[in-house]
Amino acid sequence: MNISSVVVKCASQFLEGLLADLKSCGACDVYSYDQEGRIVIILEGETTEEESEKLRIVSALPHVLSAEMVYAYSESEFSAEEGKFEKVSDELLTTLNSDMRAEDIVYRGHLKDK
């Protein structure tokens, strides 16, 4: 199961109509909104592709200025891939989780040159 929150924006004069369209489109649940035209919706799907299709449906509704995914949670879609990747070393994890001063970080270039 995948669950995502999406912020949808519209001009305030179209808010009521868009709320009705969102509630009837079958792609999402309306969670919250304000009178300025910002709406928070929840998408659910068995796969990320299903969620993406629902986001496309929402984006195509009349008067939607933008529909941006803010948070995504995937419960088990990628669990079959677990164990197929090399584990990060304990030393690296310790370093990443330690308090480090910015002055002590050594910049070694960016990946575009690799």
Is the CATH code 3.30.70.920 the one for domain 2-78? yes
Residue 15 host element (H or E): helix 15-24
| Burial degree of 63 (CB within 10 A; 0-12, 13-18, 19+) | middle
93-105 mean pLDDT: 83
Q: What is the mean pLDDT of the chain?
A: 88
Residue 86 host element (H or E): none
86-112 mean pLDDT: 78
What are 59-83's pLDDT values in tens digits? 999 999 999 999 988 876 566 676 7
